[in-house]
Amino acid sequence: MKLSPLKVALGALAFFSITTVALYFGIEKMNLGPKMGGDFTLSGKMGAVSLHDFKGKGVILYFGYTRCPDVCPVSLSRLRGMLKSLPEKASEKIVPLFVSVDYRSDTPAKVDEYAKFFMETAVGLTGTKEQINHAVSLYGTGYQFEETPKSAIGYTVQHGDRFYFINPRGKLVSTLPTTSPTSELKSAIESLL
Amino acid sequence: MIHRFLLSALIVSTLSALPGFGSEPSSPKNSDTITLKEGYVRAVPASSENSAAYFTILNSGKKSVTLLKADSSLARAVELHEHRHENGMMKMVQVPSIEVPAGESVELEPMGLHIMMIGLKKPFFSAKEIVLKLSFSDGKSRTVRLPVKKEEE
């Protein structure tokens, strides 16, 4: 079978559009794929930390970076508010896990301090580019460095703005945008208990 | 008559000499058509390089006024930024200015328009209040005094 250039172009176009649409909706309205989630290893301030180290506790995972001036603090403050409203016994069973994707500037100590500023029970992690890419791809999200030569900030990092709810057995059970209604986020948190 | 003129001149000069919001938004004696209100600066951990400031700009005048620039002695640079939600990703972009149309107000708020304080200097972290100097297109600069606070949901 011979492919005319037109067919190739049409095929490429179709592939491109489908991928774009899939990517767009995939990120916007994420349905949990059977393979989404899983264990990863990153660096904490005391050394290597894996998701499985938190077995027995529910984990609320969030990807961000410490230089993030607006979105991350708002999301983390929101999470703090919701965890505060849980009975003390219940909130002890949940670990907010803040993973910085900014391997250029963030250190494990800095990320951990940042996370604990919002919630004492939180743990902050980061890692090498490869480790971060692995974790991010497991959860079907991404990030992108963007140079901002006109701004004193130097660069920013685009990142997803979602919470991932991982049950005490390490299984990803749901994910929601951080801007979801409080009732939805609360029931996702309660599902981990 | 002269008496009244002197009194209002005195009030205006006193108010403009005052740092902060200049005057109460409801004050009828306030000759300024720009009012800055309901603001704060986000408290951040000492290892942070950046923070953000938020407030509402109210323009009760008949002409559109644009915020061109903000300055603070507690940051290496202060810029105007906006967050945009694109393809499920949060993206921050610098904006050249913020226009407030006549008779309208613009809210600088989390996840939207904000003043970025970049390269925070040490005294920032113990400050309870931050003073920002704002330059507007009407040629006036105004100061706003904002409390530093941690957000609660």
Please give the torsion angle defined by the CA atoms of residues A50, A56, A58 and A64, in that order, rounded to the nearest 10 degrees: -10
Task: Tell me which residues of chain A, numbers 18 to 37, contact chain B at a CB-CB cutoff of 8 Å.
Answer: 23-24, 27-28
Q: Which residues in B lie closer than 8 A to residue A159 (C-beta atoms)? A: 89-90
Q: Where are the beta strands (DSSP E) in B20-72?
A: 34-42, 50-59, 65-71
The closest alpha carbon to A142, from A52, A30, A4, belongs to A30
Residue found under tokens 């983390």: A76
What are the residue ranges of helices labelled H in chain B? 2-17
Strand pairing report for A94-100 and A58-64: parallel
**Considering its fold, how many domains does chain B have in total?**
1
Q: Does A147 touch chain B (CB under 8 A)?
A: no
**Rounded Cα–Cα distance for residues A119 and A163 (Å):** 15
Residue of chain A whose Cα is closest to the Cα of B88: A28
Q: Helix count (H) and strand count (E) of chain A?
A: 6, 9
Q: Which residues in A lie closer than 8 A to residue B149 (C-beta atoms)? A: none
Query: How many interface pairs between A and B have CB atoms less than 8 angstroms apart?
Result: 99
Q: Which CATH number is B143's domain given?
A: 2.60.40.1890
Picking from A70, A106, A163 by the largest number of B CB atoms within 10 A of its own CB, the best residue to mutate is A70
Picking from B40, B51, B92 by the largest number of A CB atoms within 10 A of its own CB, the best residue to mutate is B92
Q: Given an 8 Å threshold on Cβ–Cβ distance, is B44 in contact with A150?
A: no
Domain boundaries, position B75: 2-149
Neighbours of A82 (CB within 10 A): 20
The ranges assigned to domains in chain A are 1-30, 34-190
Q: Pick the more confident residue, A18 or B139.
A: B139
- pLDDT tens for B72-103 read 999 999 999 998 877 777 778 899 999 999 99
Q: Which residues in B lie closer than 8 A to residue A73 (C-beta atoms)? A: 42, 44, 52, 110, 151
Tell me the pLDDT band of B18, cut-offs 50, 70 and 90: very low
Q: Which residues in B lie closer than 8 A to residue A70 (C-beta atoms)? A: 52, 81, 83, 92, 110-111, 114
Q: Given an 8 Å threshold on Cβ–Cβ distance, is A70 in contact with B153?
A: no
Residue of chain B whose Cα is closest to the Cα of A147: B93
Q: Which residues in A lie closer than 8 A to residue B91 (C-beta atoms)? A: 146, 156, 158
Neighbours of B97 (CB within 10 A): 12
Please give the torsion angle defined by the CA atoms of residues B8, B14, B18 and B24, in that order, rounded to the nearest 10 degrees: -30
Q: How far A142 CA lies from chain B's nearest CA (Å)?
A: 8
Residue B24 has pLDDT above 50, yes or no: no
Full pLDDT tens readout for chain A, 193 residues: 455 665 655 555 555 454 444 444 334 345 566 679 999 999 999 999 999 999 999 999 999 999 887 889 999 999 999 999 888 888 899 999 999 999 999 999 999 999 999 999 999 999 999 999 999 999 999 999 989 888 998 898 989 889 999 999 999 999 999 999 999 999 999 999 9
Phi and psi, residue B117, nearest 5°: -105, 115
Q: What CATH class is the domain A34-190?
A: alpha beta
The closest alpha carbon to B22, from B138, B137, B131, belongs to B131
Angle at B91 between CA B86 and CA B95, to 5 degrees: 110
**Rounded Cα–Cα distance for residues B148 and A40 (Å):** 37
- pLDDT tens for B103-132 read 999 999 988 899 999 999 999 999 999 999
